[in-house]
Amino acid sequence: MNSSIVIPRGEEKVTVELTVKEALALSGQRFNDQPQVKSDATRKLKHAIDRKFEV
């Protein structure tokens, strides 16, 4: 089965400023002593995407 998702303006760039820890957390690194690192990074990413589509 070949299915694809069409995302309007999907080739546009989004800029997000992350700390090194946040970038590592999004790539799969775990910070057991700071579990909020990944959720903070995810929140920043979602916020940047939302701003991109607010036009």
Q: Whose CA is closest to 53, among 3, 12, 18?
A: 12
**Residue 1 contacts residue 39 (beta carbons within 8 Å):** no
Residue-level pLDDT, tens digit, the chain, 55 residues: 567 888 887 888 999 999 999 999 999 999 999 999 999 999 999 999 999 887 6
Q: Cα(21)–Cα(9) distance, rounded to whole angstroms?
A: 29
Helix then strand then coil, % of the chain, to nearest 5: 45, 0, 55
What global pTM score does this model have? 0.77
In the block, which residue shows the tokens 């946040």?
22
At residue 23, the 3 state secondary structure works out as helix
pLDDT of residue 1: 54
